Amino acid sequence: MKSIFKSKPKTPAENVCRTQDLLVFLNTNNSSTTFSEAKRENKLLELSQHIRELKHILFGSTESEPVRKLAAWPTKEFFKKNTQLLRLLIIFIPKMNLRACNDATQVVANLQRECIHQQSIARYVLESKHHMKKFFWFMNLPNFEIASDVSSTFKELMTRHKSIVAEFLTKNHDWFFVEYNSKLLENPNYITVRQGVTLSERCYVIALQILRL
């Protein structure tokens, strides 16, 4: 006989914590011969269920709209303990069933847009010359949706965490502004130039703050 009492719904923090535990456990035991296939499948199934709950928190469901206040929690919790967990989630996507793959892909897409809000992630990206140059390349792609999404992320990266951006510009202003001018301000695409001009005004304000230090 089924219990008449429903289990208490997990909070976003609890959901993310369990997702983290499952990812680490599966990764640690990925090639273990003592870890039975049946147990591995059960863990993957549980992971899929938690990812689906995360998707509902972030995007809502057919029965309800996402709660804006709650939707910010998964990203904050996901990067709190281990910045490598996003990589683990991506690694395990191909091992899930089709429905879980779709859910995980949407969750990853959201986390990739939002992770730049985390100062530790932003610092990692800023300190990588390779990653920073990639921004200019992607912003020049003919696909408007991709270029626009990258431009939005780049703007967030360069304006949210002023202290680490100031540090970055102090160390890298030579090559950064050469790339910025040639790839954005001198671009034949009007929209790209317009976005570059708007962002350069903000970068100029940050640069002034550096000079006053």
pLDDT level of residue 2 (50, 70, 90 thresholds): very low
Helix (H) or strand (E) holding 89: helix 85-92
**pLDDT digits 0-9 by tens, 55-108:** 888 877 767 676 666 666 777 777 666 667 777 888 888 888 888 888 888 888
CB-count burial class (<10 Å; 0-12, 13-18, 19+) for 210: middle
Kindly report the pTM of this predicted structure.
0.57
Res 9 pLDDT > 70 = no
pLDDT level of residue 119 (50, 70, 90 thresholds): confident
What was the pLDDT predicted at 59? Answer: 79
Contact 100, 139 (CB under 8 A): no
pLDDT level of residue 167 (50, 70, 90 thresholds): confident
Instruction: Parse the chain into domains and list their residue ranges.
Output: 12-117, 122-212
Beta carbons within 10 angstroms of residue 114's beta carbon: 20
- DSSP 8-state code for residue 122: H
Mean of the per-residue pLDDT values for the chain? 77
Angle at 190 between CA 189 and CA 193, to 5 degrees: 90
More confident residue, 91 or 209: 91
What was the pLDDT predicted at 4? Answer: 47
pLDDT level of residue 5 (50, 70, 90 thresholds): very low
What was the pLDDT predicted at 133? Answer: 85
Note the helical H segments in the chain. Answer: 12-28, 37-59, 68-71, 73-81, 85-92, 98-114, 119-126, 129-138, 144-159, 162-180, 190-212
